[in-house]
Structure 1
Amino acid sequence: MKTFPRSPWAWAPPLVAAALFGWVAATGSNHSLFLVLNHAGHQLGDNLWVNLTLLGDGAVALALVLPCIKRSPRCFWAALIAAVIATLYVQGVKQIINVPRPIAVFSPGEFFQAGPAYRAVSFPSGHAAAIFAITGIWIMGLARHYLLRVLLLVLATLVSLSRVMVGVHWPLDLLGGMLGGWLAAWTGLGLYGRYGWKTEGLGGLAAGVVLLVVAGWLLFSRHIGIPAVLPLQRTLGLVCLLWGAWEMLQMLPRLQLRRQSKGE
């Protein structure tokens, strides 16, 4: 963790986001940029964006952490810590700064909108915070793997942009969410680097069970409010549920050995 602040992969993404945030705020282009992006993005089709926006959902992001439980305790614990911090950041700021959503500013015919018609507490974007918290951990935690880091950063950016494309967030919301999510990733990795928790224990097992429940819930939930995303949501839920359960089953013999050694 001590090397992260020296790596461009740690400081360049939030620095770029902060610079863009300052530019959009200073030029007063938040609303006009929203319309430009919202109209231009749908040249690629609506289904692309509604499925991408699913990846920033909090429950989906947590389920995606589950397969890491045995293979990468570092990513597992750092992601859970980051999820808590990102949630507190997003919900706390939303209560302090009640920014109206696009549908409360423009008439419905002026832009494309999908899913629930949220009208308030727009800043910051929880989806952007969630996806950048998770991908930030992977990006900063990877050694080398330049191409994979680039692909993860592009994916996180597209998932964040999808919130503008489905008409529920402003550009400044995305940038604010990205900054909060990246800070949460930094914090999660830093705390894991200090304490180095294991997943092969009761704490890891309990956390894994909670995430199994989350993954299972995705098989039935319609909380996104966009029917078109249900096939991908259920597929991701099923994959994470089965993969995570398999990883946890492989951990059980080691957990028993640790308990026996402590008893001796």
Structure 2
Amino acid sequence: MPSPWIWAPPGVAALLFLLVLATGSNRSIFLWLNHGGQVLGPAVWLHLTMLGDGGVALALVLPTIRRAPRAFWAALVAAVIAGLWTQVTKQVIDLPRPLGVFAPEFFYQAGPAYRHVSFPSGHAAAAFALAGIWVMGVGRHWLLRAALLLVATLVGLSRIMLGVHWPLDVLWGMLGGWIGAWLGLAMYGRRGWRTSGPGGFLVGALLLAVAAWLLVSRHIGIPAIMPMQRAIGSVCLAWGAWEMLRMLAPMGWWRAQKRRWDG
């Protein structure tokens, strides 16, 4: 029987989605969570929501390029699937955001004042895609698995706490991200792609560009998280570049360059 770590997270998300949909409690749960979550203060939720940004999520994949090629390729596949899951759904179902339903003084809202295309949450999908890769692949480390699930859940909840998504948006995003992670791991299990070849270096170079972009980009639209965004970009850029340089050693390139430098 498959491990509960594989089927329980998407099962719970699907069950809660159906429950909220059947009871028509989407808006009431949103208001309850949005008001109650402010006890932690906006800074906590703003920084958590940053972790679900697509650019940040891709940069966080970069340091695994040499040490964990399975996680690297599976995460990239999961990112594509989760992106399609959210964007296709958004094109089919155009629901108003909370700011398009409630008056601004009725709830807490931070960040860009979005009013349309609410369903589903891309941040929740990205967070659960990354978390799913590791939760389904770290073996017996149950504490790490639980911590990753907790962080991913908090990232999803941050979209409600900041007033930009409904509970149904978040739950559907969680489900899509987890499915993407499962499919990514399954595809890697069949293909077994390497990261030390030209394809791996090309993708790595693209992710290096993403990490560098985080140093200057203001695409998230939240000035308060810029220092943390730049810190993540800097760490992932330096770490990823170092891992890619180390991958060159088995190919003989690094030794040849060292001999040339030594004269």
**TM-score, with normalisation over the residues of structure 1?**
0.95
List alignment gaps of at least 5 residues for structure 1.
258-264
Q: Is the 8 A contact 1:63 1:215 kept in 2?
A: yes
1:6 aligned to which of 2, 9, 16:
2
Aligned residue for 2:56?
A: 60
Aligned residue for 1:72?
A: 68
Listed as ranges, the matches of 1:210-229 within 5 Å are: 210-229=206-225
Check if 1:104 corresponds to 2:100. Answer: yes
What's the Cα RMSD here? Answer: 1.1
Q: Is the 8 A contact 1:103 1:119 kept in 2?
A: yes
Aligned residue for 2:39?
A: 43
Count of aligned residue pairs for this structure pair:
254
1:120 aligned to which of 94, 116, 120:
116
Aligned residue for 1:193?
A: 189
Q: Is the 8 A contact 1:212 1:244 kept in 2?
A: yes
Aligned residue for 1:262?
A: none
Quote the offset at 1:255 in angstroms: 3.3
SS in 1 for 2:17: helix
| Cα distance in 1 for residues equivalent to 2:106 and 2:57 | 31
Give the letter for the 1:111 counterpart: F
Quote the offset at 1:89 in angstroms: 1.1
Give the letter for the 1:141 counterpart: G
Listed as ranges, the matches of 1:121-136 within 5 Å are: 121-136=117-132
| Cα distance in 2 for residues equivalent to 1:22 and 1:142 | 30
| Cα distance in 2 for residues equivalent to 1:123 and 1:256 | 50
SS in 1 for 2:18: helix
1:154 aligned to which of 150, 153, 176:
150
Aligned residue for 1:237?
A: 233
| Cα distance in 1 for residues equivalent to 2:203 and 2:79 | 13
| Cα distance in 2 for residues equivalent to 1:76 and 1:113 | 35
| Cα distance in 2 for residues equivalent to 1:50 and 1:111 | 16
Give the letter for the 2:168 counterpart: L
Aligned residue for 1:261?
A: none
SS in 2 for 1:67: helix
Check if 1:182 corresponds to 2:178. Answer: yes
Give the letter for the 1:197 counterpart: W
Q: Is the 8 A contact 1:64 1:240 kept in 2?
A: yes
Check if 1:167 corresponds to 2:163. Answer: yes
Quote the offset at 1:256 in angstroms: 4.1
Quote the offset at 1:174 in angstroms: 0.4
| Cα distance in 2 for residues equivalent to 1:172 and 1:59 | 24
Q: Is the 8 A contact 1:201 1:255 kept in 2?
A: no
Report Cα offsets for 1:28-59 as digits up to 9, x if no partner. Answer: 11001101100000101110000000000000
Report Cα offsets for 1:58-88 as digits up to 9, x if no partner. Answer: 0000000000000000000000011011111
SS in 2 for 1:114: coil
Quote the offset at 1:253 in angstroms: 1.9
